[in-house]
Amino acid sequence: MYNRAHIALLKLTSMLQRDDPRLTALLRWIACVFPNHSQYASVIEASVQVEKFIEDSNCTVLEFCIIENNLTINNSIQFPPNCTNEFYLIKSKSGPLEESDFTDGSSIQIGSLNKSSPSDNLLNTLKNVYGPLLLANKEYSQEFSPLLQNILTELQSGLSSFVRKEKTNTDEFFFLTPQEEFQYWSEISTSSDYAMNIDKTFSSYKLYDKFARLDQSKLEDLTQGMISDIHTALESVWDMEIARRTYYPQARMSRLLSVISSSFGRLIQLKLSNVNFWTDPYSTVKKQIEQALEICYEWKSVVNLLMGDWAGNMEHKWAGIPHDDPQLNHLAHRLDQILSIRTSHEQILQNLSEKEREDLSANSFAPFAAIQPLHISMYTEHLWNVAVQQFQDSRVPLERRISEKLRHRLRFAFFTNFYNNKVK
């Protein structure tokens, strides 16, 4: 017989066996989320909350939180402020879970929350998951009623406004797109003359609308007025006084310049995603890359001009290191490399016979076959450099052959000219 102490101990300890396949499957999932998962295995295996989630039909949530290197497990979403890593499961099945429920994906939903507020997490999920699925995806949006679509759109808009206000006093770096910054000044435009003037400046150039429709723009649209309008608007905003000798914060302007650069970079990647740099005609590739490079260089020129003007602005001086956007610079450099590779290939083709061209075209760009050229990061840089080196190495025999041909032609032309002069 168990006494009360034994019964209390049993209530605090999971009855799941260590070799339970459901527990094993859960541990595999957790291993993907928590790097040091092995140190938490014994806690998970003994957890009453884990057993309850697996066995109890009334328990639908299981949350794991890392707090000061310790694992806490809950049967509701707690998301404590000091949680550094969070992971949750939601069960949509009545009755005990089976091993197959952890593999077929039909009964358990997996998610996580980052360190920002719950409202920010909800907004990000709406913007990046459910919004695109229910509003833009043809397969799902047709079944989602217009009324619910409007409600979802209004909820997203309201959350965006709330999150902006939530972060305004604590974080100048919260906006992720230029539209969010322009919308912020529109929302507070009645709060002060300064806010109203900034909103008027951004609105007069219709910058919100232009960035909102940026994906539908052509590359040449940016260099035919839009970048110039941004330049003028930012100059005006920088010179406006909030109060006596108080101006638009430098950190905020730096963030705005960065998100504008990011928007241009994403547009270039989007528009060039349909271009096959290695198989499309050289003229097509050249035209598209040159248009993209023009955007990069024109925007970089604008930023340099602003930095030069503001560094010498005695009323509102840019302090410290001039703003720069490495990511857009890296994109321009990669585009320049791609164009250089295609141009050198085209020059080689012009010096080969028809048969040699056919043989060369079959595998000319094989080193780049498994690489997305515009996916640029420190993690992919090595792969790109290796591919470029392999391509360059493959050119060496061809360049030697062409050199021999040119020498032969020059030698033939020299002796032909010499002979003709002799005959004369």
pLDDT in tens, 67-112: 888 889 999 999 888 888 888 999 988 778 888 888 887 788 888 8
Residue 89 phi, psi dihedral angles, 5° rounding: -125, 140
Provide the domain count of the chain.
Answer: 4
Q: Is residue 18 part of a domain?
A: yes
pLDDT at position 6 = 37
Q: Is residue 409's pLDDT more than 70?
A: no
Q: Is residue 169's pLDDT more than 60?
A: no
pLDDT in tens, 260-275: 999 999 999 999 989 9
Q: Are residues 215 and 251 in the same domain?
A: yes
Q: Decide: 267 and 215 in contact? Cβ < 8 Å.
A: yes
Q: Is residue 357 part of a domain?
A: no
Q: 386 by DSSP, 3-state: which?
A: helix
Q: Are residues 33 and 132 in the same domain?
A: no
**Cα separation, 241 vs 288, whole angstroms:** 42
Q: Give the confidence band of 410 by pLDDT, cuts at 50, 70, 90.
A: low
**Cα separation, 115 vs 167, whole angstroms:** 13
18, 21, 26, 32 alpha-carbon torsion, rounded to 10°: 100
Question: Final residue of a domain: which of 320, 350, 380?
Answer: 350
Residue 174 phi, psi dihedral angles, 5° rounding: -85, -25
Q: 243 by DSSP, 3-state: which?
A: strand
Could you tell me the two tokens for 66? 């890392």
Q: Are residues 164 and 97 in the same domain?
A: no
pLDDT at position 404 = 66
For the chain, what percent of residues have pLDDT higher than 70? 84
Q: Is residue 110 part of a domain?
A: yes
pLDDT at position 298 = 95
pLDDT at position 403 = 64
Q: Decide: 240 and 295 in contact? Cβ < 8 Å.
A: no
Q: Is residue 401's pLDDT more than 90?
A: no
Radius of gyration from C-alpha coordinates of the chain: 31
Q: Give the confidence band of 392 by pLDDT, cuts at 50, 70, 90.
A: confident
pTM: 0.70
Q: Is residue 361 part of a domain?
A: no
Q: Are residues 308 and 330 in the same domain?
A: yes
Q: Are residues 130 and 46 in the same domain?
A: no
Query: What are the DSSP calls for 46-115, one per residue?
Result: T-HHHHHHHH-TT--EEEEEEETTEEEEESS----TT-SEEEEEEE--SS---GGGGTSSSSEEEE---S
Tell me which residue range forms the domain holding 97: 4-115
Q: Are residues 388 and 263 in the same domain?
A: no
Q: Are residues 155 and 269 in the same domain?
A: no
Q: Is residue 356 part of a domain?
A: no
Q: Give the confidence band of 286 by pLDDT, cuts at 50, 70, 90.
A: very high
For the chain, what percent of residues have pLDDT higher than 90? 33
Q: Are residues 180 and 327 in the same domain?
A: yes
Cα–Cα distances in angstroms (integers) from residue 194 to residues 166, 238, 247, in the given order: 21, 12, 9
Cα–Cα distances in angstroms (integers) from residue 114 to residues 27, 80, 158, 315, in the given order: 21, 11, 21, 40
Q: Are residues 108 and 243 in the same domain?
A: no
Give first-to-last CA distance, the chain, whole Å. Answer: 127
Q: Is residue 358 part of a domain?
A: no
pLDDT at position 243 = 65
Q: Are residues 334 and 293 in the same domain?
A: yes
pLDDT at position 5 = 38
**Cα separation, 399 vs 119, whole angstroms:** 61
Q: Please give the average per-residue pLDDT across 235-248, as a whole number.
A: 83
Q: Is residue 332 part of a domain?
A: yes
pLDDT at position 402 = 64
Q: Is residue 355 part of a domain?
A: no
pLDDT in tens, 333-384: 999 999 999 998 888 777 666 766 666 665 788 899 888 899 888 878 899 9
List Cβ neighbours of 190 (8 Å cut-off, separation of 6 or more): 196
**Cα separation, 216 vs 201, whole angstroms:** 24
Q: What is the mean pLDDT of the chain?
A: 83
Check residues 38 and 131 and name the one with the higher pLDDT. 131
Judged by phi (left if over 0) then psi (alpha if -120 to 50, else beta), residue 373 lies in alpha
Q: Are residues 167 and 196 in the same domain?
A: no
pLDDT in tens, 130-164: 888 888 787 887 788 777 887 888 788 788 777 77
Helix, strand, coil distribution of the chain in percent, nearest 5: 65, 5, 30
**Cα separation, 49 vs 62, whole angstroms:** 7
pLDDT at position 379 = 76
Q: Are residues 39 and 23 in the same domain?
A: yes
